[in-house]
Amino acid sequence: MGEGEPIAGEARVIRPGDNVLIRLPSSTTAEQADQMLQELRARMPDVMFCVIAGVDGIDVYRPGSPGEDGSG
């Protein structure tokens, strides 16, 4: 997770009130994860972030918004 490394994956729209699960590779240090969380929380104070190490990817769960993802 060095500076300038490309990020692969799908873009997600994150809105106030969302709960975001961030899955990091196991090579991510605690310092890197902490710095990332501090920056995200500063930029999006109305979003709840949770970090899990060892897996790549990001998921967004929006409570109370049925139908936005095509279900219900």
Q: Quick count: other Cβ atoms within 10 Å of Cβ 24?
A: 19
Phi, psi (degrees; rounded to nearest 5) at 31: -65, -45
Distance CA 5, CA 48 (A): 25
Distance CA 34, CA 56 (A): 16
Q: Give the confidence band of 1 by pLDDT, cuts at 50, 70, 90.
A: very low
Mind listing the pLDDT tens digit for each residue in 2-33?
Answer: 555 665 677 788 999 999 988 888 888 889 99
Task: Spell out the residues 6+ positions from residue 35 whose beta carbon is closer than 8 angstroms to its own.
Answer: none
Q: CB of 68 within 8 A of CB of 40?
A: no
Q: What is the pLDDT of residue 54?
A: 78
